[in-house]
Amino acid sequence: MWPDLIKKAKEGGLDAIETYVFWNAHEPLRRQYDFTGNLDLIRFIKTVQDQGLYAVLRIGPYVCAEWNYGGFPVWLHNMPGIEFRTANKVFMNEMQNFTSLIVDMMKKEKLFASQGGPIILAQIENEYGNVISSYGDAGKAYMNWCANMANSLDIGVPWIMCQQNDAPTSVINTCNGWYCDQFTPNNPNSPKMWTENWTGWFKNWGGKDPYRTAEDLAFSVARFFQLGGSFQNYYMYHGGTNFGRTSGGPYITTTYDYDAPLNEFGSLNQPKYGHLKQLHDVLHSIEKTLTYGNISSTDYGNSVSATIYSTNDQQTCFFGNANTTTDATVTYQGVKYNVPAWSVSILPTVNTQTSKMVKVSNKAENEPIALKWTWMPESVHETLVHGKGEALPATFLIKRWLMMLNYGPNFDEIRTGLPGPIEIIGEKGDESIMKDLSNHTWTYKVGLDGFNTKLFDNAHDKTTFKAPLGEEPVAVDLQGLGKGMAWVNGNSLGRYWPSYMEEDGCSAEPCDYRGSYDNSKCVTNCGQPTQRWPISGIKFASFGNVQGVCGAFQKGTCEAKNDVLSLLQNACVGKESCVVRASESSLGLTSCDSNTTKRLVVEAIC
C-alpha cells in the first residue's frame, strides 16, 4: 500500500513523509537484522523519493508510538547491568550500534539530502523531556550524549529532539501536541518546528472512539504558521493497523486509525482530508512570502490578532481569533473582515479574503460537521467470521493482557500483570465473604491453550473464505468471537476483543470544534465493540445516472422515483453493514432510458 498512501499524501498537499524506525522489528535478536518485506526501510524511503517528496527519519530508537515496549527489542531487557534511556554504558553501546547501522544504510544508498537524497531531517531519542526529571543528573548526561553521538555520525542534515526544551543547541528542539503555536525553540537561531500534530488519538480496548474535528485541526495548523512556524507534521496522517503483537500497553487496540486524514484502510477520511488539502493549497501559494517576508503583528484584544508577512512583491495577512465563543470583525486598510470564533482567516494578497480555514464552504456539506465521517471511495470488503470465543467475566479478574508497556520513566522495570491486592468477594445470604488471595503464589502459564487443544488443526476452529477480486483492502470482522488473536494464511492480523464494550460517556450533541481539544472531548462508539464502525447516518443516496465523486456527488438527470435516501437510512443506520439490491425492483422505476447506465451511490457516515 506504500505507493498509494504516499500518492494520496502528496495529493493532499504534503511535502514530506515522517517515519519511525522500529528497533524491535529490525533487530528481533541481537545482531540479527531484518529489513525484508514491510521492514524494507530503504525501499520505503526510495518510494517517498519517487513520489517527489522529502523524508524525515525518526530513528529514536525509542519511539513510544503505542508500540510494544516502545520499540525496544525484548533481548535488550535481559542484558546484564542494563538500564534504559539513561547514562548506562550497556544501553548506550547498543543504542549507538543500531543508530549507526541505520545511518550507514542511508549513507550507502545516498539517501540524505546532503547526498542528493530525500531525507532532510533525522531524529535522535523521542520525547525524553517528558521523563528526564526521573533520571536526575544521569538523564541530563544521557541527553547530551545522544546529541553528541548523533552529530558524530556526520549525516549532513540537522538532527532534531522533540519535547526537549533543554536540548543542546547542536540539535533542534521541536514541539509535539495538540497545539504548538506558542512554542519557542530554545535556540534563537533554530526554526520553529512541530513534529507531531495529533490528528486524533489512539484507542484502548473497551474505550470510546476519540476523534478530532477537521476545523480544530486546520485551526491549529493555520495558527502555527501565523505565529512563525516553519515545519509541521501530522501524527498520524495514516495510522494503519498494529498487526501481530505490535500494539503496546496497556490495552492498545489493533486498529491505529487515529482519526487520521487517511483512515486505517488507506481511504480518504472526509471532510478532514479535503479540509486540510484546502489549507495546504493556500499555504503553498504563499510559501515564498512566509519564508522571506518581514513580519509585523497587531493585537486587537480578546484573543484576536493579525500577522502580516511582507515582501517587495507580495503581502499576506493572517487574522486569528482564538476566542472560543465570540466572532470578531477586523478592519484592515479600510476593509472589514469577519473572523469567526476559533478560526484563522488567510488573505494570500491583502485585497482578497481567499480562504477561511474554519467553516470552509463545501457543496457536499449541507449541515454543520458533527460526527466523525469515514467515507470509503474504495470498496472495502468485509468478511464475517463466526466461531467460539473465550468467556470474559470470570477470567478477567485474575489475569491481564500481557502487552508490554511503551511509555513512562523506567517503564522497562514495571512488571505486567495484576499489581494487587487480589480479593474474591462473594455473598452468602445477607453476608459478604471476602477471600484475600494476595499471598498466594501466582504464575503465568507460558504458551497457549490452543497448542494443547490443537486449535491449529484444520478440523478445529478454522474457517475459510474466498478473497474478493482485485487488490483493494479487505476488512475481517470478528464480531462472532470473544477475545484472542487472528491469523489469515499464516499472517497474524493481531488481537481482537469485540466482547469488551464501552458503556457510556458519549454525548448525543454535536461536538463543538471551538476551544482546546483533548482526547476526551469528542468521542463516539459507546455501547459498541471497540473496533467496529457502525453506520450513524446516510449523507447521500441516489439511484440513476449520479454525477460527481465521493464528497461531491450530485443527482443526475434521471433517478428512481422512490425516496432512496430514506430507504437506505432505514436499512443501514445503526448497523455495521447493510445490503441493498441496486435494481429498479428494489429502489423504484427510474426515468432513465435504456441506454443510460444506472448506479446506486451511497455516502455513509460512520
Residue 18 has pLDDT above 70, yes or no: yes
Tens digits of residue pLDDT in 253-268? 999 999 999 999 898 9
pLDDT score recorded for residue 389:
34
pLDDT score recorded for residue 455:
59
Does the residue 189 lie in any domain? no
Active site residue 83: no
Output b/e per residue, 428-448; b: 16+ Cβ within 10 A: eeeeeeeeeeeeeeeeeeeee
Grid coordinates of 231: 515545519
Tens digits of residue pLDDT in 211-252? 999 999 999 999 999 999 999 999 999 999 999 999 987 789
pLDDT band per the 50, 70, 90 thresholds, residue 380: very low
Structural domain containing residue 304: 292-356
Tens digits of residue pLDDT in 318-345? 999 999 999 999 998 899 999 999 999 9
pLDDT score recorded for residue 161:
99
Window from 380-384, 564-568, 585-589 with minimum mean pLDDT: 380-384
Cα 285 to Cα 199, 220, 233, 276: the distances in Å are 23, 19, 19, 14
Residue 417 has pLDDT above 70, yes or no: no
pLDDT score recorded for residue 396:
40
- Side chain identity, residue 310: S
Average pLDDT over residues 188-205: 97
Average pLDDT over residues 543-553: 82
Q: Both 148 and 296 in a single domain?
A: no
CB-hemisphere CA count at 13 Å for 60? Answer: 19
Q: How far apart are CA 383 and CA 385, in angstroms?
A: 6
Q: How far apart are CA 244 and CA 158, in angstroms?
A: 34
Q: Both 28 and 172 in a single domain?
A: yes
CA-wise closest residue to 227 among 256, 184, 186:
184
- Burial of 110: CB neighbours in 10 Å, binned 0-12, 13-18, 19+: exposed
Grid coordinates of 32: 540479527
Those residues whose C-beta lies under 8 Å from the C-beta of residue 567, and which sit 6 or more positions away, are 541, 580, 587
Q: Exactly one of 18, 66, 196, 215 is catalytic; name it.
A: 196
DSSP 472-515: S-EEEEEEE--SEEEEETTEEEEEE-TT-B--S---SSPPP--S
Tens digits of residue pLDDT in 22-43? 999 999 999 999 999 999 999 9
Cis peptide before 61 (omega within 30 of 0): yes
pLDDT band per the 50, 70, 90 thresholds, residue 121: very high
CATH number of the CATH domain containing 29: 3.20.20.80
Strands 294-301 and 335-339: unpaired
- Side chain identity, residue 214: A
pLDDT band per the 50, 70, 90 thresholds, residue 480: confident
Q: How far apart are CA 114 and CA 51, in angstroms?
A: 19
CB-hemisphere CA count at 13 Å for 172? Answer: 21
Window from 5-14, 23-32, 340-349, 559-568 with minimum mean pLDDT: 559-568
Does the residue 299 lie in any domain? yes
Q: How far apart are CA 233 and CA 193, in angstroms?
A: 9
Cβ(177)–Cβ(196) below 8 Å:
yes
Q: How far apart are CA 588 and CA 17, in angstroms?
A: 48
What is the side-by-side order of every strand in the sheet holding 16-20? Answer: 16-20, 54-60, 119-124, 159-162, 172-177, 193-198, 231-235
Range with the largest mean pLDDT of 410-419, 534-543, 560-569: 560-569
DSSP 331-361: EETTEEEEE-TTEEEEESBTTB--EESSS--
Domain count, the chain: 3
The sign of the CA dihedral 139, 145, 151, 153 is negative
CA-wise closest residue to 223 among 399, 64, 344:
344
Summary mean pLDDT of the chain:
86
Q: How far apart are CA 408 and CA 585, in angstroms?
A: 60
Angle subtended at Cα 272 by Cα 535 and Cα 524, rounded to the nearest 5 degrees? 40
Strands (E), 143-292: 159-162, 172-177, 193-198, 209-210, 231-235
Q: What H or E segment, with its residue span, contains residue 274?
A: helix 272-285
Q: At what angle do helices 214-226 and 272-285 cross, to 10 degrees?
A: 20
Q: How far apart are CA 245 and CA 448, in angstroms?
A: 14
pLDDT score recorded for residue 215:
96
CA-wise closest residue to 167 among 195, 181, 148:
148
Grid coordinates of 336: 472589514
Among residues 356, 374, 391, the one where a domain terminates is: 356
pLDDT band per the 50, 70, 90 thresholds, residue 481: confident
Q: What is the DSSP letter of 85?
A: T
Tens digits of residue pLDDT in 47-84? 999 999 999 999 999 999 999 999 999 999 999 999 99
Cβ(476)–Cβ(488) below 8 Å:
yes
3-state secondary structure of 341: coil
Greatest alpha-carbon pair distance for the chain in Å reads 87
CA-wise closest residue to 176 among 231, 216, 226:
231
Cα 299 to Cα 127, 181, 322: the distances in Å are 33, 15, 12
Does the residue 523 lie in any domain? no
Integer-rounded Cα radius of gyration of the chain: 27
CA-wise closest residue to 216 among 369, 14, 13:
369
Does the residue 342 lie in any domain? yes
Does the residue 15 lie in any domain? yes
Average pLDDT over residues 589-594: 88
Neighbouring-strand partners of residue 294: 310
Residue 421 has pLDDT above 90, yes or no: no
Q: Exactly one of 66, 127, 215, 264 is catalytic; name it.
A: 127
Does the residue 208 lie in any domain? no
Cβ(493)–Cβ(487) below 8 Å:
yes
Q: Both 169 and 299 in a single domain?
A: no
Average pLDDT over residues 553-572: 88
How many beta carbons lie within 10 A of that of residue 42, not counting itself? 13
Q: Both 172 and 296 in a single domain?
A: no
Active site residue 413: no
Grid coordinates of 19: 517515519
Grid coordinates of 302: 480578546
Cis peptide before 409 (omega within 30 of 0): no
Does the residue 363 lie in any domain? no
Tens digits of residue pLDDT in 573-589? 877 678 888 888 888 88
How many separate helices (H) and strands (E) can be counted in the chain?
Answer: 12, 24
Among residues 177, 205, 231, the one where a domain terminates is: 177
Among residues 156, 177, 198, the one where a domain terminates is: 177
Q: What H or E segment, with its residue span, contains residue 93?
A: helix 89-108
Cα 382 to Cα 52, 159, 484, 527: the distances in Å are 34, 43, 19, 21
Does the residue 120 lie in any domain? yes
More confident residue, 208 or 129: 129
Cα 491 to Cα 35, 486, 561: the distances in Å are 17, 8, 48
